[in-house]
Amino acid sequence: MAETTNLFTPLQLGPYTLKNRLIMAPLTRNRAGLDGVPGDLNVLYYWQRAGAGLIISEATCISPMAVGYPHTPGIWNGAQVAGWSRVTQAVHDAGGRIFCQLWHVGRISHPSLLPPGELPVAPSAVRPAGVAMTYSGLQPFVTPRALALEELPEIVESYRVAAKNALAAGFDGVEVHAANGYLLDEFLRDGTNLRNDDYGGGVDNRSRLPLEVMEAVCGVWGSRRVGVRLSPVQPFNDMRDSDPQGTFRRVVERLNALDLAYLHVTELGKDAPGAAGPWFEPGRLRDIWKGVYMTNHGYDKATASAALAAGRADLVAFGVLYLANPDLERRFALDAPLNAPDPSTFYGGDERGYTDYPFLAD
């Protein structure tokens, strides 16, 4: 009789054997330098969490036009590559694996965060509700500029260059961020993509740019070291779609052809059914995905173990739990108490709420 898969069952992920199935989810912490260069605190933070089967880095901007928040890291220049090289070396020295999450925020930005004279860009000129986080405080979002058709190859090239830089920085792979209301997600959903050219209209057209990006990144890394993140029912950043189930089932069908390392689906939005469009169970995408499936959002040891045992996922990503418990995998293994997270320190600041969470005493 076969043993039940659990959080500590190794998994082959592309060329890597993961030591466990606990994944550290990408977590924006706003603690990089003004120039987007990871520093000493970032090195320590990731080194502390190298016991995860895989770390997915915080969202990392692919270009100056991709920036949407203060103190977020980049991967478009040599100084940033050097900073990330220190992080990846520390993780590897501790026996861990780390992928870089490649990010373009699209319309979720503000002119003060971008090169002088630039507006945020998007598939269409649709202003999101809400406010941007800037260096001078919260500011209303502006109406973005719709990308011209001839600019789209430049977007793809920015992802390709960022993927090359991530390779130079010593990452083990990359995850393309196509979720949470950022640029590639904005192209996927018809609430934000109102184009009438080859990149708008039906789902095959709306998914054209994300697929071109995936192909470019796979051309750098090989598909078995590339993952992608989707958020089918996520209303965050004022997102919606008239048919999320139809949209994302078709997107996953097309992604299957690429033979990726994994599909990472966040279930965020399940607690607000219908906010992002007619609701469906995002876990149903597991039924049509042919590779390694990673789930995310609010899991604890019991619910994650149940999902793995039932075959609803191959990997489970933990966000806040890994933030507050740098040795989460050890605590789970011993059924030890968990540190409580401090939400007041989630975004920005110093070592408090970042590298000072205690490890379990021996």
DSSP 105-117: -TTS--GGGSSTT
Indicate if 182 belongs to the active site: yes
> What digits encode the pLDDT tens for the residues 143-198?
999 999 999 999 999 999 999 999 999 999 999 999 999 999 999 999 999 999 99
Q: What is the model's pLDDT at position 327?
A: 98
Q: What is the model's pLDDT at position 2?
A: 52
pTM: 0.97
- The answer regarding whether domain 11-345 maps to CATH 3.40.50.280 reads no
Choose among 102, 245, 236: nearest CA to 161. Answer: 102
Query: How far apart, in Å, are the Cα atoms of 133 and each of 1, 118, 166?
Result: 54, 17, 26
Ramachandran sector of residue 315 (left: φ over 0; alpha: ψ -120 to 50; beta: rest): beta
Q: What is the model's pLDDT at position 168?
A: 98
pLDDT less than 70: residues of the chain: 1-2, 362
Question: How many whole angstroms separate alpha carbon 128 and alpha carbon 143?
Answer: 7
Q: What is the model's pLDDT at position 350?
A: 96
Residue 227 main-chain phi, psi, to 5 deg: -120, 175
Q: What is the model's pLDDT at position 73?
A: 98
- Residues 6 or more apart whose CB falls under 8 angstroms from that of 271 comprise none
Q: What is the model's pLDDT at position 1?
A: 39
> What digits encode the pLDDT tens for the residues 310-352?
999 999 999 999 999 999 999 999 999 999 999 999 999 999 9
Domain ranges of the chain: 11-345
Query: How far apart, in Å, are the Cα atoms of 219 and each of 14, 118, 276, 331?
Result: 15, 30, 33, 39
Residue 255 main-chain phi, psi, to 5 deg: -65, -30
Q: Which of 182, 262, 322, 357 is catalytic?
A: 182
At 29, the amino acid letter reads R
